[in-house]
Copies of this chain bind each other. A is one copy, B any other.
Amino acid sequence: MDRQQTEKDDEASGQGRPTLKTLAFMTGLGVTTVSRALKDAPEIGAETRRRVQLVAKQIGYRPNRAGVRLRTGKTNVISLVLNTEREIMSFVSDIIYGVSEVIADTPYHLIVTPYSRSQDPLDPIRYLVETGSADGVIISRTQPNDPRARYMLERGIPFATHGRTDMGLIHPYHDFDNYAFAAEAVRHLAGIGRRRLALLAPPVELTYHSHTLNGFTDALSDVGASEIPFNTVSIDHSIEQIRMRTAQLMRREARPDGFVSSAAAATLAIVAGIEDAGLKLGRDVDVVSKQSSDLLHLFRRELLVVNENFRLAGAELARSVLGWIGGAAPGSLQSLSMPTEVLAYRRD
């Protein structure tokens, strides 16, 4: 091309980040054609398509996110909404990695949207929806009647919940089968002769509280064991509180000889409380606990554990949201993860 370059061409060949204009200039095509060629539109010639895609790869073209977002409204963002105070620590890192793993070879970015104790949990969701900051949202600490899920369902924004709701509304979720966990835990404790069991449950407002509780009580009556009430604390309480309440409980006549604990950190507190009361784990009392990283058996080898894989949860949740964004039916994007067997690390 020996014609004189216009200003526009000049700009297009400049050394900034390549844009569609750059590609159009290089291939001698129009911007529109280039745009369509890159997304395999049908009305572009096979030869042209290949040429454009080749050049694009060569010069490392990457669509400008702001351009796409402004024009189409598509943000290519997934938001993970987290409670800054109450979220389980290993949950945060594992779920992030799980999500990351899945969105790694997609154009999606992961943004973390935190909210604190003081705030209405709906606040961050409202913010996201009102500002159109994400194509999809992942929430945790799901409640049976969850205003956040309802809100997003009403506005038609794709989301997935970690944990189920119970509102008669259909949406993607991933959940761990806490009913099965609690039931299995009770059965295991009964199997080693424990008869008076206490449950350290999730906080009442979360859906998996009742799942856990139901699994616990159903299995209790199955095996003919009895419950020692322990509902002055939940896994949301501080380590100190749980420890104190456990010690209190263990000093009573009718103390439990078995615990089921829904969280690893809480289990540390339970054990401390047990020992505060002068009792011994594995002899006076056994504890079955969920854990998400394989550390509890180092703590006390007598501990009985069930593993919950948060990384898997993150991956599943991400898949669900992406699926919904991609047009799949929300009802087809629900998954439940089964607990492992109760693992004993005791070596006698």
Dominant SS at the A interface?
helix
- Determine if A60 and B130 form an interchain contact, defined as CB atoms under 8 angstroms apart: yes
Q: Which residues of B contact A87 (CB under 8 A)?
A: 93
Most buried by B among A93, A293, A299: A93
B293, A272: Cβ atoms closer than 8 Å: no
- A268 part of interface (Cβ distance < 8 Å): yes
A245 sits at the interface (CB 8 A): no
Point out the residue from B97, B272, B298 that lies within 8 Å of A114, measured CB to CB: B97
A residues neighboring B (CB under 8 Å): 17, 60, 62, 64-67, 69-70, 75, 82, 84, 87, 89-94, 96-97, 100-101, 104, 109-114, 130-133, 239, 243, 265, 268-269, 271-272, 293-295, 298-299
How far, in angstroms, from A70 to B70 measured CA to CA in the complex?
A: 8
Partner among B62, B100, B101, B268 whose Cβ is within 8 Å of the Cβ of A130: B62
A265 to B291, CA, bound (A): 14
Residues in B with CB closer than 8 Å to A112 are 96, 100, 110-112
Is there an interface contact between B298 and A268, defined as CB atoms closer than 8 Å? yes
The distance in angstroms between the C-alpha atoms of A17 and B132, with both chains bound, is 9
Q: Judge whether B89 and A239 touch: CB under 8 Å.
A: no
Contacts of A298 in B (CB 8 A): 239, 243, 268-269, 271-272, 299
Number of copies of chain A assembled together = 2
Further 5 A-B residue pairs, CB within 8 A, beyond A89-B293, A93-B93: A65-B131, A92-B92, A100-B114, A110-B111, A111-B111
**Which residues of chain B have C-beta atoms less than 8 A from A243's C-beta?**
298
Shortest Cβ distance from A134 into B: residue: B109
Kindly state the separation between the CA atoms of A66 and B271 in the bound complex, as whole angstroms: 52
Q: What CA separation (Å) do A299 and B269 show in the bound complex? A: 9
Checking B66, B104, B109 against A70 with a beta-carbon cut-off of 8 angstroms, the contacting residue is B66
Q: Inside 8 A of A104's CB, which chain B residues have their CB? A: 114
Most buried by B among A17, A69, A96, A243: A96
CA distance A109 to B124 in the complex (A): 12
Complex: chain B residue closest to A292, CB-CB: B89
Task: Name the distance in Å between A18's Cβ and chain B's nearest Cβ.
Answer: 10
Chain B residues within 8 Å of A69, by CB: 65-66, 69
Top 8 nearest A-B pairs (CB, nearest first) are A92-B93, A66-B69, A66-B70, A100-B114, A268-B298, A272-B298, A84-B97, A89-B93
CA distance A247 to B131 in the complex (A): 56
**B residues less than 8 Å from A110 (CB atoms):** 111-112
